[in-house]
A and B are shown apart, each in its own frame.
Chain A
């Protein structure tokens, strides 16, 4: 059996995000793009299963603009066997349903029993694609697992629930499993892995190639905003003699200005 891992390209969390002047999106110039860290867990888990002889091939799949190929190459360098990219500039600003439709269409051509992906992408944190994809491909889903086992035709998954307890689930293949932190320790792309990645099968398809003409969104991003910059701290200096005076000054400001008391 083959395992599909979904690989989204996201801005590195250290990148400085700047909005475009018209607030319609953010500036890409200074962004460093990486493979979504939760998807790294997915890739690692799939590779481990393959190494344990429980899967034949690991196929990395993404929908994105051209630059998203780098996320797939990272997966290949980590050890995935093949990659498929549904390439279209539309995915620059796509919402979850568009992505899910594209992935579902692309997966029709792929022979797989199990999909593993991150529980969410760290850029928009919407966590919506896996559920939609499960619906569109008509398979089950098991979300946010921090431990999983692959049996003959089932998956057992462990989920952390409130208060440190764990829930143990079993699901029948084919299945989508979404990965939580703790599932494993993703490997680095080794130098031999990096050099091999170039020679692995890499399939690019356009929307038309997978039978799609347009992708209707269900929601639309209508605006962005950045958090307010943190206000400067304020020092109240003096000595022990005027301490009571300063305390009342602080209290007054907390009540009148900061309105926290």
Chain B
């Protein structure tokens, strides 16, 4: 097999990707499949039947589940073997998160523990710290938590006022302050705490929960995730040995941002698993529920919902596993020594910071969309807690808020892309320049498309990239350094980028299926992508025009709007019939129909 090409972060905006290079759920190895199945079995047998107990905040019980998860290896996929984990690839971690996404509040405990609770050590711990602590986290003997947020420092996380002062004998730091909204706080053994040394140098500390001067406040009363613990963590002259500084004094932001990248991707995966579960549960209910002497699954409006949910979940799934594949390919290029260096790993992962934000935004919004429709398909029963839709609806909402709100993540996408362009890592400017020339003589009527099932969609994704590049280019030229203050413009650019990556991820997956299994074998993949592109192209056109209408005026505006219109020229397909086919397939299987 030829070596896969390594794509740089954001490259998909300006170039095309070979479907053969993309990882899709259909590429699961036997091991990936078994890892997914073991996690699903664990969720089905150990967690779902105990949901009420978990929801009642029986934290002793949550710890017991956590230990069992540790025994099975479900906490150690990202922890290297020499520290008690398994050091598996990122696809394996995605598969665990995907399956775990159905686990209600335990999914929160699990995600916080394996993500923000463990990864700071994996990537930034020194040898001694990793040897001492990681085996306990990987086995589930310990529960980890991450203390970044403060009452006055949420999205602006670096503005925290928790301080760390070196003791006179130079042996300890004394930490003072109060952290807010800390997941797992009520039963955690180990906190990763951020504080400013001398009120200035933002630094990460490893703080065991039994450290003198560390306590937790009252449980928050939350909308959802009732079985997860969320408390303030109070530090009053907490005495932390100097050897517990994580990485370096003044380099806490490096830890925080890198860990957030990974947290975002993991969150995207678990949200997507949750969304697929919504589809399966909603279909099962719709098949069994009779009104007007018919199963409600036979009604067109319900089928439309089931199909739209399926398509969104499919696209989200395609994004999550594509990103896992990008990580794995990139990490594979590290040589033996670098592979062992946490920092080198973190750097490789940072390459895909934009994709991590997309994964988080897209996953959380897909889940929210799907839980909402699940409730709706259940009607009044969806509103009652006897059915799991009600809890899932409440549980889902937090995902748009934490790990960087979706607004913050949207601001990060254009910001990061531009930074990369200025650093010369991503040739956005060159591509935009080429495009301007190309647009002069461009006519969509002159384009001859090959006679393949997804030719139109491939063409439209390429056109949408041009629209994105053109409008972003116009905005950059106009506002230059001041673009950062034009948040509505940034938001539109982010949405353009998100949907371009989303469409393309689905397209590449379907193309890969098509290449492997032919048109019949890839039937539902093709249908899903056609439906999604059909729905998205008009949105792209609308957003681009909104952006331009703000930025430009007069003749320039008219020329640019005409260019967008030309690029977005697209004849709608019969999406209703395709959606019926997708819905009927889901009804036939009584499950989300596009996995394996």
A191 touches B293 (CB 8 A): no
The complex places the Cα of A189 from the Cα of B31 at a distance, in Å, of 11
A191 to B36, CA, bound (A): 10
Q: Within the complex, which residue of B38, B77, B92, B590 is in contact with A188, where a contact is CB–CB below 8 Å?
A: B38
Q: B361: CB under 8 A from chain A?
A: no
Which residues of chain B in 568-596 are interfacial with respect to chain A, using CB atoms and an 8 Å cutoff? 588-590
* Complex alpha-carbon distance, A197 and B73, angstroms: 15
Let me know if B88 and A30 touch, CB within 8 A: no
Judge whether A191 and B72 touch: CB under 8 Å: yes
| CB <8 Å contact, B590 and A194 | no
User: Does B221 lie at the interface of the complex (its beta carbon under 8 Å from any beta carbon of A)?
Assistant: no
Tell me if A191 and B30 are in contact (CB < 8 A): no
Residues of A within 8 A of B589 (CB): 16, 30
* A172-197 Cβ-contact flags toward B at 8 Å (1 or 0): 00000000000000001111101101
Number of interface residues of A (CB under 8 A): 17
Partner of A195, one of B71, B86, B590: B86
**Shortest beta-carbon distance from A70 to chain B in Å:** 7
Specify which chain B residues have a CB less than 8 angstroms from the CB of A198 in the assembled complex.
Answer: 30-31
Please list the 3 inter-chain residue pairs (A to B) with the smallest Cβ-Cβ separation, ordered nearest first.
A191-B73, A194-B34, A190-B72
Structural contact, B88 and A191, CB atoms closer than 8 A: yes
Structural contact, A192 and B86, CB atoms closer than 8 A: yes
The B interface, classified by DSSP as helix, strand, loop or mixed, is helix
CA–CA, A194 to B39, complex, Å? 12
Residue in chain A with minimal CB distance to B76: A191
Cα distance A213–B332 in the bound complex, in angstroms: 48
Chain B interfacial residues counted at CB < 8 A: 22
Contacts of A233 in B (CB 8 A): 290
Residues of A within 8 A of B259 (CB): none
Given contacts A189-B34, A194-B38, contact A16 B588 (CB under 8 A): yes
Q: When the two chains form their complex, are residues A194 and B42 in contact, meaning their CB atoms are under 8 A apart?
A: no
A74 within 8 A of B: yes
The closest CB in chain A to the CB of B74 belongs to A191
Known: A16-B588, A70-B30, A195-B88. A188 touches B41 (CB 8 A): yes
Distance A191 CA – B77 CA, assembled complex (angstroms):
8
- Chain A contacts of B590 at CB under 8 A? 16
A73 interfacial by beta-carbon distance below 8 Å: yes
Is there a chain A Cβ closer than 8 Å to B238's Cβ? no
How distant is B91 from chain A, measured CB to nearest CB, in Å?
A: 13
Q: What residues of B have a CB within 8 angstroms of the CB of A70 in the complex? A: 30
Whether A190 touches B73, Cβ cut-off 8 Å, given contacts A73-B30, A195-B31, A232-B293, is: yes
| A133 lies within 8 A of chain B by Cβ | no
Q: How far is the CA of A237 from the CA of B442 in the complex (A)?
A: 67
| B residues in contact with A105, CB < 8 Å | none
Q: Is A80 an interface residue (CB 8 A)?
A: no
Q: Which of A16, A190, A191 has the most CB of B within 10 A?
A: A191
Cβ contacts B74-107/A at 8 Å (1 or 0 each): 1011000000001010001000000000000000
**Do the beta carbons of A194 and B31 come within 8 Å of each other?**
yes
Residues on the A chain within 8 Å of B74, using CB: 191
Within 8 A of B (CB), among A88-129: none
Contact at A190–B30, with CB atoms within 8 Å? no
The reply to whether A189 and B38 contact each other, CB–CB distance below 8 Å, is yes
Shortest CB–CB separation between residue A226 and chain B, in angstroms?
14
- CB within 8 Å of A: which of B3-34? 30-31, 34
- A190 contacts which of B38, B88, B293 (Cβ < 8 Å)? B38
Question: Using a Cβ cutoff of 8 Å, how many contacts connect chains A and B?
Answer: 47
- Assess whether B35 is interfacial by the CB under 8 Å rule: yes
- On whether the beta carbons of B34 and A74 are closer than 8 Å, the reply is yes
Residues of A near B42 (CB, < 8 A) are: 188
Q: Chain B 25-65 against A: per-residue CB contact (8 Å), 1 yes, 0 no?
A: 00000110011011001100000000000000000000000
Q: Flag whether A60 is at the interface (Cβ < 8 A).
A: no
Please tell me if the beta carbons of A188 and B31 are within 8 angstroms of each other in the complex: no
Interface centre among B30, B86, B290 (most CB of A within 10 A): B30
Contacts of A194 in B (CB 8 A): 31, 34-35, 38
Residues of A within 8 A of B34 (CB): 73-74, 77, 189, 194, 197
Minimal beta-carbon separation of B565 from chain A (angstroms): 44
* Distance of A70 Cα from B31 Cα, bound (Å): 11
Q: Chain A residues near B588 (CB, 8 Å)? A: 16, 30
5 A-B Cβ contacts within 8 A? A73-B30, A73-B34, A74-B34, A188-B72, A197-B34
A30 CA to B42 CA, complexed, in Å: 23
Chain B nearest CB from A34 CB (Å) reads 8
Q: How far is the CB of B208 from chain A (nearest CB, A)?
A: 27
Q: Which residues of B contact A191 (CB under 8 A)?
A: 35, 38, 72-74, 76-77, 86, 88, 92
Instruction: Note all chain B residues with C-beta closer than 8 A to A77.
Output: 34
Q: Which residues of B contact A30 (CB under 8 A)?
A: 588-589
Residues of B near A188 (CB, < 8 A) are 38, 41-42, 72
With a cutoff of 8 Å between Cβ atoms, the chain B residues found around residue A190 in the complex are: 38, 71-73
Closest-CB distance, B149 to chain A (whole angstroms) = 31
Chain B residue nearest to A189 (CB atoms) is B38
Q: A16: which B residues are within 8 A, CB to CB?
A: 588-590
A residues less than 8 Å from B88 (CB atoms): 191, 195
B-facing residues in A6-41 (Cβ within 8 Å):
16, 30
A123 CB to nearest B CB, Å: 19
Min CB–CB distance B471 → chain A (angstroms): 44
Kindly state the separation between the CA atoms of A240 and B228 in the bound complex, as whole angstroms: 50
B548 to chain A, nearest CB (A): 48
Q: How far is the CA of A74 from the CA of B35 in the complex (A)?
A: 11
Q: Which of A16, A190, A194, A197: most chain B CB closer than 10 A?
A: A194
Residue of A nearest to B37 (CB): A189
CA distance A232 to B41 in the complex (A): 33
- Residue B73 contacts which of A73, A74, A192, A232 (CB distance < 8 angstroms)? A192
Q: Which of B31, B293, B589 has the most CB of A within 10 A?
A: B31
Residues 446-462 of B at the A interface (beta carbon under 8 Å): none
In whole angstroms, what is the CA distance A192 to B92 when docked? 12
Q: Give A193 Cβ to nearest chain B Cβ, in Å.
A: 8
Minimum CB–CB distance from B58 to chain A (whole Å) comes to 22
Q: Could you tell me the distance between the alpha carbons of A197 and B86 in the complex, rounded to whole angstroms?
A: 14
